[in-house]
């Protein structure tokens, strides 16, 4: 049986919490339709057949599908790397355009302050670039909370690869069975469950058309689903009068 198919065994207490960035800690209002369209057009310029990629898929899925098609067509690895680099450069530029309208999600700083006070090790795992991640966290005042960051700019696998989460946890010196990953997307749930890390989902705040609901997150492996970050703090027992669901060490 593959490692990722084995039911995870979680231990207490939790030692570290990893957060997704956009939608979970910050609200950036990225132009995702434009980013996806650019990724598709770039892949097609490098040899992917027009119509094979969907602009409705997450960017990670678009890039993976493009790589698989080109590899199956025996396109040189160097050409595939050039395609991915071109896509990432274009996406990086579009991401940075969102900085002026990027704000912290309501409840983010109080939640992080409570976690830090309890001694949790905190990290960010994001598909955003290193430049955008640091600039957005700095602009919203959240950067000092995070000594550990892993972005798509880091060498090696990127989210939703479970190895990306495992690499970050290794840097944090937190065992996978004593970690929690918090995110707002099904790709976050996939990443966590495949890595053997417990996952808590947070719903969109405010809800948007097409948002992922509680049942879908539960089906994807979420151990808990919070309406917002203040409710997540209550679930973790971080507020007075609440019992810790996952006590900190």
In this prediction, residue 212 carries a pLDDT of 87
Residue 2 is predicted with a pLDDT of 40
Longest Cα–Cα distance in the chain:
61
What integer is the mean pLDDT of 79-98? 93
Looking at residue 32, its pLDDT comes to 87
Q: How confident is the model at residue 144 (pLDDT cuts 50, 70, 90)?
A: very high
Q: How confident is the model at residue 31 (pLDDT cuts 50, 70, 90)?
A: confident
Say if residue 206 is preceded by a cis peptide, omega within 30 of 0: yes
- Across 129-155, average pLDDT: 96
What sign results for the dihedral spanned by CA atoms 194, 197, 200, 205?
Answer: negative
Dig out the tokens for 31 from the structure. Answer: 């132009």
For 118-161, where are the alpha helices, taking DSSP H only? 130-139
Percent of the chain with pLDDT over 90: 83
CB 117 within 8 A of CB 142: no
* pLDDT above 70 (res 135): yes
Cα angle: 22, vertex 70, 81; to 5 degrees:
60
Pair 176, 198: CB distance under 8 Å: no
Is residue 111 predicted with pLDDT exceeding 70?
Answer: yes
CB-CB contact of 185 with 212 (8 Å)? yes
Write down the pLDDT at residue 248.
39
Would you state the pLDDT for residue 9? 62
pLDDT band at 188 (very low <50, low <70, confident <90, very high): very high
Tokens at residue 44, please?
């097609």
How much is the average pLDDT of 162-172?
98
**CA-based nearest residue to 219, from 239, 236, 238, 199:** 199
Count CA atoms within 13 Å of residue 118 on its CB side. 23
- If one counts every other C-beta atom within 10 angstroms of the C-beta of residue 140, the result is 18
Task: Return the higher-pLDDT residue of 241 and 186.
Answer: 186
Q: Are strands 224-226 and 198-202 parallel, antiparallel or unpaired?
A: parallel
- What pLDDT is recorded for position 205? 78
Beta strand segments in the chain, E? 16-19, 26-27, 103-104, 121-125, 148-150, 179-183, 198-202, 224-226
Q: Where are the alpha helices (DSSP H) in 102-182?
A: 108-117, 130-139, 162-172
Give me 226's structure tokens: 């919070």
Helix, strand, or coil (residue 110) = helix
Residue 169 to residues 99, 131, 224, 227: CA-CA distances in angstroms? 28, 21, 21, 26
Question: Which segment of 93-97, 197-201, 202-206, 228-232 scores lowest on mean pLDDT?
Answer: 202-206
Query: What is the average pLDDT value for the chain, to the nearest integer?
Result: 90
Is residue 140 scored above 70 in pLDDT? yes
Q: Is the pLDDT of residue 121 over 80?
A: yes
pLDDT band at 241 (very low <50, low <70, confident <90, very high): low
Closest CA to 16 of 157, 110, 148, 151: 148
- Amino acid 12: pLDDT: 76
Quote the percentage of the chain above a pLDDT of 70.
Answer: 91
């Amino acid at each position: 049986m593959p490692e990722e198919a084995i039911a995870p065994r979680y231990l207490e207490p939790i030692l570290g919490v990893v957060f997704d960035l956009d939608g979970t800690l910050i609200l950036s209002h990225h132009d995702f339709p434009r980013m996806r369209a650019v990724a598709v057009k770039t892949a097609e310029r490098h040899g992917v057949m027009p119509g094979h990629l969907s602009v409705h898929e997450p960017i990670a899925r678009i890039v993976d599908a493009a790589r698989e098609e080109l590899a199956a067509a025996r396109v040189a690895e160097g050409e595939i790397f050039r395609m991915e680099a071109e896509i990432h450069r274009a996406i990086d530029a579009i991401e940075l355009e969102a900085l002026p309208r990027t704000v912290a999600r309501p409840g983010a700083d109080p939640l992080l302050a409570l976690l830090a006070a309890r001694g949790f090790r905190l990290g960010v795992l994001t598909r955003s670039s290193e430049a955008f991640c640091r600039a957005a966290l700095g602009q919203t005042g959240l950067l000092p909370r995070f000594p550990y960051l892993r972005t798509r700019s880091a060498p090696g696998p990127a989210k939703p690869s479970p190895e990306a989460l495992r690499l970050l946890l290794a840097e944090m010196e937190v065992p996978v069975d004593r970690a929690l990953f918090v995110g707002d997307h099904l790709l976050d749930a996939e990443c966590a469950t495949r890595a053997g890390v417990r996952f808590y989902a947070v719903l969109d705040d405010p809800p948007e058309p097409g948002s992922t609901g509680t049942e879908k997150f539960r089906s994807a492996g979420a151990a808990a689903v919070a309406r917002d970050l203040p409710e997540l703090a209550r679930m973790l027992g971080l507020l007075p009068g609440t019992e810790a669901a996952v006590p900190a060490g």
